[in-house]
């Protein structure tokens, strides 16, 4: 064990902290790394273990720690644990302390502060030694990528800890799959906490909880497993069913559907074909997804570089709104490049919830027939289908009629929906075509 880990162990003994089996994975990892992704079940002790890592850092000189959570209320849980352990239990005197600002600083130049991911503008201009992203599955990926990650660039030994209960196949799932040397990930179910569940998985309290939840929800919330059902919009989508080799076939008609998004557009190319029963199927063959800051003009040029013979383009009607920078809408800009977009004008087709129901019937109809087939290279679309979900209440019921707009996965979902409702009208749909 290296000197830092020896120091950590002595510190934990000094302050009376005895981590359980799951927490040991966080504090004494299998390899050296900078970034930890800890996927943990409920009652794991996330706030306590995060606080201990914060304490380990700020007991060293000139260290700055941030605790970033979806809200100030949640970041305060970790902050209060640090304050209680050091200033109340241990009697250490802070140089500065503000409960309102969640700020604590000591004479040796080290500090900790709680932050809210809901206000990313407050996450600029600092250099940090450690950032703890608490319940990070409920934080937008852009907060990490554009605001937090740069704060860790100035210090070579800086770290980030992502600690959360799973929330579907979102960006945290993707991070947990990284295999490069800077990243370390683990899953820890609730029953590894011997203090909460002394009998492990068979603990009577845990079994009572299990009886009141669906198997999927229990595995997500307590088993710390990424599942695809809790709030998922397209619950019928399965990689083993809908994903495979579906290359471009020049003999088939080709279409293109797009969502212009906000600095994160999404474009899908698909072909149609008819089976022996007369049902028309969709093969999604290509994509531009998850690429940031593509201007509409650049997007049009990239689309035209594809060797597909596209016979029709579909777009979100919102693309007709005039932009102040250009004096024209995205649809009009596309027209200048010879891309003439069709879009629905009726209320039913523009309804997100109605459109989603329509798309669901293509993933699986009442006869169990799957009419959407996705080429395996469309990785962004596949990822988004597993991440796109509803916000749930405490009873795991959708809070709103429409899914969450996370600014990431929703753009390809809008492109998919717009392509299908436009090409396969919901009901006597009228089309508006930008005239040549």
Q: Determine, yes or no, domain membership for 321.
A: yes
Same domain assignment for residues 7 and 143: yes
**pLDDT more than 70, % of the chain:** 93
pLDDT of residue 433: 41
Stretch 390-412: mean pLDDT, rounded? Answer: 77
At residue 394, the 3 state secondary structure works out as coil
| CATH assignment at residue 148 | 3.40.50.300
- CA dist 107 and 347 (Å) reads 63
- pLDDT tens for each residue of 199-249: 988 999 998 888 777 677 788 889 988 775 557 888 888 888 899 999 999
Least confident of 116-120, 186-190, 227-231, 428-432: 428-432
- CA dist 248 and 271 (Å) reads 8
pLDDT of residue 208: 87
Tell me which of 154, 188, 221 is where a domain ends. Answer: 221
- pLDDT above 60 for 430: no
In the DSSP assignment, the letter for residue 52 is H
With cut-offs at 50, 70 and 90, classify the pLDDT of residue 429: very low
pLDDT of residue 347: 73
pLDDT of residue 305: 95
Stretch 14-37: mean pLDDT, rounded? Answer: 90
CB distance 326 to 333 below 8 Å = yes
Domain count, the chain: 2
Q: Which residue has the higher pLDDT, 227 or 118?
A: 118
CB distance 114 to 67 below 8 Å = yes
- pLDDT above 80 for 116: yes
Q: Determine, yes or no, domain membership for 37.
A: yes
With cut-offs at 50, 70 and 90, classify the pLDDT of residue 349: confident
Q: Which residue has the higher pLDDT, 30 or 172?
A: 172
Q: Determine, yes or no, domain membership for 159.
A: yes
Same domain assignment for residues 158 and 276: no
pLDDT of residue 394: 61
Q: What is the pTM of this model?
A: 0.58
Tell me which of 190, 221, 252 is where a domain ends. Answer: 221
Question: Structural domain of residue 411, as residue ranges?
Answer: 239-433
Same domain assignment for residues 301 and 173: no
- What residues contact 412, with CB distance under 8 A and at least 6 apart? 259, 266, 268, 287, 289, 290, 380, 381, 384
Least confident of 66-80, 117-131, 409-423: 117-131
pLDDT of residue 148: 92
- CA dist 212 and 139 (Å) reads 28
Same domain assignment for residues 181 and 40: yes
- pLDDT tens for each residue of 157-181: 899 999 998 877 778 888 888 888 8
pLDDT of residue 277: 83
Same domain assignment for residues 89 and 213: yes
| CATH assignment at residue 316 | 3.30.420.280
Q: Determine, yes or no, domain membership for 205.
A: yes
Same domain assignment for residues 151 and 243: no
pLDDT of residue 334: 93
pLDDT of residue 325: 64
- What residues contact 387, with CB distance under 8 A and at least 6 apart? 168, 169, 170, 171, 173, 406, 408, 409
Stretch 286-304: mean pLDDT, rounded? Answer: 92
Same domain assignment for residues 216 and 125: yes
Tell me which of 180, 195, 221 is where a domain ends. Answer: 221
- pLDDT above 90 for 313: yes
CB distance 408 to 388 below 8 Å = no
- The residue with tokens 């309102």 is 100
Q: What separation in angstroms does the CA of 25 have from each of 21, 157, 224, 347, 420?
A: 7, 20, 14, 53, 46
Indicate the average pLDDT of the chain.
Answer: 87
Q: Determine, yes or no, domain membership for 228.
A: no
In the DSSP assignment, the letter for residue 313 is E
- pLDDT above 80 for 287: yes
Same domain assignment for residues 69 and 117: yes
pLDDT of residue 396: 58
CB distance 410 to 348 below 8 Å = no
Q: Determine, yes or no, domain membership for 227.
A: no
Same domain assignment for residues 143 and 173: yes
- The residue with tokens 């003009």 is 297
Same domain assignment for residues 178 and 247: no
- pLDDT tens for each residue of 259-272: 997 678 999 999 99
Backbone angles phi, psi at 53, to 5 degrees: -65, -35
At residue 307, the 3 state secondary structure works out as coil
Consecutive H or E run containing 200:
none
- CA dist 169 and 176 (Å) reads 10
With cut-offs at 50, 70 and 90, classify the pLDDT of residue 112: very high
- CA dist 27 and 7 (Å) reads 12
Same domain assignment for residues 198 and 347: no
With cut-offs at 50, 70 and 90, classify the pLDDT of residue 185: very high
Least confident of 243-247, 290-294, 394-398: 394-398
Same domain assignment for residues 188 and 325: no
Q: Determine, yes or no, domain membership for 231.
A: no
- pLDDT above 90 for 419: yes
Least confident of 183-192, 265-274, 392-401, 423-432: 423-432
pLDDT of residue 421: 93
Q: Which residue has the higher pLDDT, 399 or 149?
A: 149
Stretch 278-307: mean pLDDT, rounded? Answer: 93
Q: Determine, yes or no, domain membership for 397.
A: yes
Q: Helices 3-14 and 46-58, interaxial angle, to 10°? A: 120
């Amino acid at each position: 064990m290296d000197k830092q880990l020896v120091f950590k162990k002595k510190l934990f003994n000094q302050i009376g902290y005895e981590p359980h089996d799951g927490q040991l994975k966080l504090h004494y990892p299998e390899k050296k790394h900078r970034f930890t992704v800890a996927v943990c079940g409920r009652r794991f002790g996330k706030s306590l273990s995060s606080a201990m890592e914060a304490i380990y850092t700020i007991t060293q000189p000139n260290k700055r720690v941030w605790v970033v959570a979806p809200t100030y209320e949640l970041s305060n849980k970790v902050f209060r644990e640090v304050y209680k352990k050091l200033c109340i239990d241990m009697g250490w005197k802070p140089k500065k302390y503000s409960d309102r600002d969640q700020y604590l600083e000591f004479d040796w130049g080290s500090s900790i502060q709680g932050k809210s991911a809901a206000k990313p503008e407050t996450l600029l201009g600092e250099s940090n030694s450690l950032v703890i992203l608490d319940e990070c599955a409920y934080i937008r990926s852009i907060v990490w990528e554009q605001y937090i990650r740069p704060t860790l660039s100035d210090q070579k030994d800086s770290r980030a800890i992502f600690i959360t209960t799973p929330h579907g196949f979102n960006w945290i799932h993707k991070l947990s799959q990284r295999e490069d040397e800077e990243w370390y990930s683990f899953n820890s179910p609730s029953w590894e906490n011997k203090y909460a569940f002394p009998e492990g998985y068979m603990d009577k309290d845990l079994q009572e909880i299990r009886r009141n939840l669906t198997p999927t929800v229990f595995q997500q919330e307590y088993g710390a497993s990424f599942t695809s059902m809790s709030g998922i919009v397209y619950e019928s989508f399965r990689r083993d069913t809908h994903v495979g080799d579906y290359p471009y076939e020049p003999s088939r008609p080709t279409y293109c559907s797009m969502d212009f998004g906000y600095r994160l557009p999404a474009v899908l190319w698909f072909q149609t074909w008819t089976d022996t029963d007369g049902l028309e199927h969709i093969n999604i063959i290509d994509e531009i997804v998850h690429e940031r800051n593509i201007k509409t003009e650049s997007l049009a040029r990239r689309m035209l570089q594809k060797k597909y013979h596209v016979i029709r383009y579909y777009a979100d009607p919102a693309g007709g709104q005039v932009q102040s920078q250009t004096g024209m809408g995205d649809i009009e800009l596309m027209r200048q490049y010879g891309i003439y977009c069709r879009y629905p004008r009726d209320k039913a087709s523009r309804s997100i919830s109605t459109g989603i129901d329509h798309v669901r019937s293509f993933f699986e109809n009442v006869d169990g027939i799957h009419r959407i087939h996705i080429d395996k290279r469309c990785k962004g679309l596949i990822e988004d289908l597993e991440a796109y979900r509803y916000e749930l209440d405490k009873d795991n019921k959708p809070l709103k009629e429409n899914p969450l707009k996370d600014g990431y996965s929703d753009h390809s979902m809008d492109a998919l929906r717009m392509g299908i409702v436009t090409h396969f009208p919901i009901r006597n749909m009228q089309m508006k075509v930008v005239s040549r």
